[in-house]
Amino acid sequence: MTKTAYMRATSKSMAQPTMNTQNLSSGNHLDGSFTLQDFHKLLNAESHIFIVLLGSILGGMIALAIGHSVQASPVNFVMLSLIPIGMSYILRKVYIYTLLNFKD
């Protein structure tokens, strides 16, 4: 990699967020030729902590509301514990889908 290409790949602009292209399997995208699959891979590689936390909180509230009205048993406890995990996963997938398909 030449010094100019390296400078373009590592330059940080305040107006545009930088993307880590080294995790993409389709090669070096220094010319800016990203495909939809590349963006999908890049978004799936990020953690999206706020969205996951929001989904966990919402799922926990739903699990508490359901758990308040059912009898305590190990099976119910496990099923109610899976609600926050599932809710955060679904909310993250919806967030990624929205980012990829949003049009002005």
Dihedrals phi, psi of 28, to nearest 5 degrees: -90, 120
Residue 81 lies in a domain: yes
Q: In the predicted model, is pLDDT for residue 79 greater than 60?
A: yes
The more confident residue out of 4 and 37 is 37
How far apart are the C-alpha atoms of 69 and 74, rounded to whole Å? 15
pLDDT for position 38: 86
Report pLDDT for 86.
96
Task: Determine, yes or no, domain membership for 2.
Answer: no
The total number of structural domains that make up the chain: 1
Q: What is the pLDDT of residues 27-76, one digit of tens each?
A: 555 566 778 888 888 888 888 899 999 999 999 999 999 999 999 899 99
**Which has the higher per-residue pLDDT, 24 or 6?**
24
* Residue span of the structural domain in which 66 resides: 35-104
Tokens of 64: 């508490």
Model pTM? 0.62
